[in-house]
Amino acid sequence: MILLACSSAPYISVAFILNIHTDVDVPATLTVDGKTYRDVGVHFRGNTSYMAAGAGQKKSLSLSLDFRHKEQRLLGYRSLNLMNSNQDPTFMRISLYHEIARQYIPANRVNWVRVAINGESWGIYVNSQQFNTDFTNEWFKSTKGARWRLPANPMNSSGFAYLGDDPARYKSVFEIRSKDDPKEWSDLINVCKVLNTTPRPLPKMSPSPLADQVDSADFLEAAEAGAAGAADPVE
């Protein structure tokens, strides 16, 4: 059970009523199974899932445990992504996709939580792991490597479309979340090129620098399994 006590309750009410979408964190006190976490940052998240939920209705939420206390963690994690499971009455789609994906590639851990905000029950949320350095350290035992954010349905095309060799074209689509390094953009372009120009079906990759970037066959199997549910930005 997750309890959120927000000292900015009027802000929360106005934001829900007016349908304001902002990445600005609101400070809150988080209580999980009786343990209290102070000064947690909370903001609305999502794209389709946000817009589809009308004013005053259940929105997806992002919680930052390290908003003010950089070392604060919940069971080793500093971020919670609470999904409202828009258009999924089973609340199972996100979990099933990542369960399948983990058979092929590193993918988020997922569970379910009950949420109450300022004493009012907001029901069940799907909690999906954040793609950050905690994630990379868990899977790769390192916080190094490039991380990217990709908007939903970028330019009305596939997320990994090959746009040529000019990094500027990719910078208008992708947002790098790690150190901005020209080599990382070059690697990204190479991945997009291989995924779009290699004949299908893709073979398993033999050891190579590109195989360190992505195992194409496994990646595409997992991506195709979850394509129907990818309406929000992908990280």
pLDDT in tens, 4-30: 887 655 445 544 433 455 667 888 999
Q: What is the distance between the alpha carbons of residues 13 and 25, in angstroms, rounded to a whole number?
A: 15
Closest alpha carbon to 60 in 111, 26, 21, 10: 21
- pLDDT value at residue 5: 82
Write out pLDDT tens, residues 182-229. Answer: 999 999 999 889 888 888 765 565 555 555 555 545 555 555 444 444
DSSP 24: P
Distance CA 5, CA 116 (A): 8
Over residues 102-127, the mean pLDDT reads 92
Give dist(CA 130, CA 82) in Å, integer: 10
The continuous run of DSSP H or E covering 40 comes out as strand 35-45
pLDDT at site 189: 94
C-beta of residue 6 within 8 angstroms of C-beta of residue 28: yes
Determine how many CB atoms are found less than 10 A away from the CB of residue 190: 16
Question: So what's the pLDDT on residue 37?
Answer: 95
pLDDT confidence of 150, banded at 50, 70, 90? confident
Residue type for position 139: W
Considering only residues 100 and 9, tell me which one the structure prediction assigns the higher pLDDT.
100
pLDDT for residue 230: 45
Taking a C-beta distance cutoff of 8 angstroms, is the pair 78, 72 a contact? yes
Given a cut of 70, is residue 100 above it in pLDDT? Answer: yes
**Neighbouring C-beta atoms of residue 230, cutoff 10 Å:** 15
Percent of the chain surpassing pLDDT 90: 40
- pTM to 2 decimal places: 0.73
For residues 101 and 49, the model is more confident at: 101
Residue 179 CB neighbours (<10 A)? 10
